[in-house]
Amino acid sequence: MADTKMEIDDSLYSRQRYVLGDSAMHKMANSTVLIYGMGGVGVEIAKNIVLAGIKSVTVQDPKVSSIRDLGVQFFLRESDVKAAKNRAEATAPHLIELNPYVTVMTKTQALTCDSDLSYLKCYQCVILTDCSLNVQQYVNHFCRSVNPQIKFLSSDVYGVFGSVFTDFGDSFEIYDANGEEPKDVFICDITKDVEGEVTCLDQRAHGLVTGDTITFREVKGMTELNGAEFTVKVLNSYKFSIGDTTHFSNYEEGGIMTEVKVHQTCSYQTLESQLTDPTILTPDLSKTDVPSILHIAYLSLHKYQEKFGHFPKAWDDNDASAFLAISKELNSCMKNKLDYLNENLLLTVCRCCSGCLAPLCAVFGGIVAQEALKALTGKFTPLNQWMYLDASEVVPQDKLVDTKQFVPRGDRYDHLRVCVGDVKCQLMADTNLFMVGCGAIGCEMLKNYSLLGLSCGAGKITITDNDLIEKSNLNRQFLFRSHHIQKPKSTTAAAAALEINKDMNIEAQQHKVCPQTEKTMYSDAFFENQHIVVNALDNVEARRYMDGRCVTNQKALMESGTMGAKGHVQVIVPHLTESYTSQQDPVDEDYPYCTVKSFPATLEHCIQWARDKFEECFVQNAQLFNKFIESHPNIEEVAEQLVNGVSVDGGVKVSKILANRPSSWSECVAFARIRFEKYFNHKAKQLLHVFPADKRLEDGVLFWSSPKRPPTPVEFDPNDEMHMLFVTTTAHLYADIYKINFSAQDLEKKAAQLILSSVHVPPFTPKNKRIITDETVSKEDATNETVATDCVETAGLRMKKVLQTSPSTVSSPLNPLDFEKDDDSNGHIDFIASTTNLRAQMYSIDQGDRLKIKKIAGRIVPAIATTTAAVSGLVTIEMIKVLCKAPLEQLRNCFLNLALPFILLSEPGPVQKTVLREGLSVTVWDKWEIKGTKDFTLQDFLNQCKLKFGFEATSIVQGVKIIFMPFMPGHMKRLTMLMTKLLKPVSGQMYVDLVVSFDGDNGEDVPGPPVRYYF
């Protein structure tokens, strides 16, 4: 049944399957989990696990809903509080809505040290929140006593610090430690030595670390290596050792190295043994001592509760004194006693513990849910064994602060108020925030903002996203449900956020933020009205644009993103930090044109070729044809020109389209069959005709040497599933662009085979055609060859023949396709997959599964809800700091990889200064201003530059228009002209932004910061 579930709704889980893989997904679909405690962190964990798609989740909680729960528990409503509903029972219906394939059950009994725990035996994983430490130890002991052992996790958020503990038993097997795709690396040399050295081809980085296991294939000469496994010792980034190779044959050439995923086994200690000797992850390298102190604080809170029956009261000095005494006592019992207890940090924990910072719940909800999925599947490396994280910087540290502002008032913001105080609560309520994007991160952000009461006062949240909701969005964009499919993301997300907190002032828009909306919707005036800007985007181009707008308008930008189990947070503050574009993103690998076209060596090369063929055959040719007939309504005249040898741009290509245009489904099938022969048989024969198998280069080296692979012509077999898939999907796509009707029965194998039996396939004839082998030649250079006159004349005759036989088809437009990766019924991915694998077969390259090909061809960014939740929580915490004007040393960028798990918090890069001359430096945030008048001339502007900035301006540019360059003809005459005549003002703006260069100390032009000139 689990397998059927996955097959039924691959569209729901597709992005997650790219991260976890089929094996993990199937294990999850047979797993059951119990989560105890439906407070802030418990509901976050439950939400993420349900979205992941496990078989069954039980939520257990004895508590009834309270008004303060509304500030951390996004599935509770005011009606639940009024009705005194149990938290688990009130939450369950919302969890069920998230994923119809997950069974959600509830329990309302309390867990105590006297509870009968036999009911836990039906769960593979138990997660505790809102539990005393004694109860945690009691349950942990039970989980270890059964066979097989139940995986145990506990997590809590107390005020501004959170914790997680994992115990996966005595022997836990990990089958994939990092989830990274094993890469193929081509080899150029292997030495025969006691420490056999392997060198990568073209000094390509192998990406290995010492201790990794690898295997080889296609090695010539030293064939004993093929299929064998070796443990490597890294020598440098492109060379490693595999041990003694002296007993092997001599290496000749070639070979491919592939990393082998080796199963690992790890062992865990019990909670009890870990209390006094903890193994703790350190996420913030600038606060290396903090995790150990937070462990003492965690134990102290539970000891305090055990002694007094409650946690310390908010900002109570007497309770704080008792708490510090307990902390000192517990420290003395630790195996590794701390020499220094940071009392300020301990006091912060004590004063805030009765509250709860909602975004910190999101962080731990993502982390703990991911650990639970590891426990169920063995995919990724689990946490060993504790992790603590604090957001103490959001707590006012001023000793003169009025502690009355932290006293609970009996409303939904009590949890927040205890942590940050009334002043900061009001600051957030009055914030104007602009968020771009309402996808996965955007949904999580809005949930966090609703819980924080952001823009619930005089402030306003503006969100925009021009996208519609798709089914594949539902398992990570948690504000959306199945009945929202094809509705706008922005308006739907806004409505869902208002259900969490009806007091939010939010405006949802559906505009794209780009240069086209810069002068209308998202002008400088719009940005000036915002206190902070948030990116919830999924592409670098849009991020760069938003960064530029924020730099221009001096606005703080909160940047974040995810890719599978990885995520990042970047805090960008005017005049304090570097901007997003201050650092260059890694450039995507670009394959040489000749490699993709004629000499593929990897599956990725084949995928790129298939993707190019889709664009050429079903998009570009149709667009070219439509444009041609629109600009050349008299085709007879064009045909006459071509016959006379007069070249018409696009005429040769259009003549071929017209000559080959099918008029029926049978002709589409025939055309597809001929394409098969051309792509996978004739192309191979042509290559071998030009470059025979024994051809050698001038230096005597065989032309077909690694990584070049000689092709083998593929003989069409109507009984081969892959061959028939190519024919039927290609026919399907041609029918789509030529607007030819067909039925589902037409796509069936037998129906197509019947048509194919009568198709005439032209035999191969060698062509006198140049094959490019130079890797430096681009596709544009290769295709920009002059069309021969005889080709032009042939095209004219071809066109005339169509005019005589089928005149009605000449002016009938085609239907260019729009590549859509998520609709399996359209045949797009089937074409890419079959074309890829047939080409791989032709070149003896290992074929790929459909999911992998779809991911690469569709440039799909893998995504899981756990990473999204964690990243959104981290960036929201930083947003609070920025709104409260925290200094640079309190801000944190973050890079995380939940697969490892790895979390690195670090201070943002400070803004870089550029020295214009001695004593004068500028940054990317600087913007100079000049106030003009209606009578201001260009000379007046130059004088002001000299007077205000101490420079002689050497050039003035507005956008792409050059306003002034002294050496250009006529420009000196402009000195007396009015600036209002020279500049092109933006409608509604009383200023323009100019790029001004100055005469530097060494006589060279120095580009200054942007100059804003006011008319």
Q: Active-site positions?
A: 594
Give the residue carrying structure tokens 């169920």. Answer: 376
For residue 956, which of 940, 577, 860 has the smallest C-alpha distance? 940
Backbone angles phi, psi at 791, to 5 degrees: -65, -40
For residue 956, which of 1002, 878, 1011, 1015 has the smallest C-alpha distance? 1011
- Residue count of the chain: 1015
Give CA separation, 417 vs 398, 880, 885, in Å. Answer: 16, 13, 18
How far, in Å, CA of 108 to CA of 76, rounded?
16
| 941 Cβ contact partners less than 8 Å away, ≥ 6 residues apart | 930, 932, 953, 956, 979, 1013
Tokens encoding 266: 């790890």
How far, in Å, CA of 645 to CA of 652, rounded?
11
- Is omega for the bond preceding 385 within 30 degrees of 0, making it cis? yes
Cβ(513)–Cβ(544) under 8 Å? Answer: no
SS3 of 863, please? strand
Burial of 697 (0-12, 13-18, 19+ CB in 10 A): exposed
For residue 688, which of 716, 709, 717, 715 has the smallest C-alpha distance? 709
CB under 8 Å, gap of 24 or more: what pairs does 333-340 form?
Answer: 333/276, 334/276, 334/277, 334/296, 335/276, 335/277, 336/277, 336/292, 338/289, 338/292, 338/293, 338/296, 340/289
The single-letter code of the amino acid at 232 is V
CA 577 to chain CA centroid, Å, is 23
How far, in Å, CA of 447 to CA of 438, rounded?
11
How far, in Å, CA of 872 to CA of 476, rounded?
12
For residue 708, which of 695, 721, 727 has the smallest C-alpha distance? 695
Give the residue carrying structure tokens 């005194």. Answer: 84
For residue 39, which of 129, 111, 106 has the smallest C-alpha distance? 129
Tokens encoding 1009: 């910061």
Tokens encoding 814: 């085609």
How far, in Å, CA of 512 to CA of 972, rounded?
42
How far, in Å, CA of 166 to CA of 268, rounded?
8
Q: How many CB atoms lie within 10 A of CB 620?
A: 14
SS (H, E, C) 929-964: EEECCCCCEHHHHHHHHHHHHCCCEEEEEECCEEEE
